[in-house]
Amino acid sequence: MSVTFSKESDTLCALLDGEIDHHTASTMREAIDANVKKLMPKTLFLDFSGISFMDSSGIGLVMGRYKLMKEHGGEVKVINTPPAINRVMRLAGLEKLKVM
C-alpha cells in the first residue's frame, strides 16, 4: 500500500497502489489529507490504477476526500478504476457525486 503524489498547476494527483481495506485506508487518508491541506489544489485526482482490492473502506476514502475538497472549494475526480473497483463504486452511487 502506497500513495505517490504529483502536482501540476492547481491539480494534485494521488496515485494509489495496493489494497484498500480498514488496515490501509487510514494511512492513505492521512497522506492525502496532509498534501491537500499543504498544497491547496483546486482538483484532486484519485488514481486507482494500482489498486488490486478495495472494500467499503475505499468508498469511505473517496467520500471523505470529496468532503474535504468541497470544504476548500475544490473537487475530487476518481480516475483509472479497474473494472471490479469501478463496479463497487457505481453500486455505492459515487457517479451521482460526479467524482467518476
Q: What is the pLDDT of residue 59?
A: 96
For the chain, what is the largest distance between any 2 Cα atoms, rounded to a whole number of angstroms? 33
How many independent structural domains does the chain possess?
Answer: 1
At 10-39, the pLDDT tens digits run 999 999 999 999 999 999 999 999 999 999
> What's the pLDDT score for residue 1?
75
Q: Give the domain extent around 70.
A: 2-97
Question: What whole-number distance in Å separates Cα of residue 90 and Cα of residue 73?
Answer: 24
CATH code of the domain covering residue 93 = 3.30.750.24
pLDDT at residue 5 greater than cutoff 80? yes
Query: What is the pLDDT confidence band of residue 96, given thresholds at 50, 70 and 90?
Result: confident
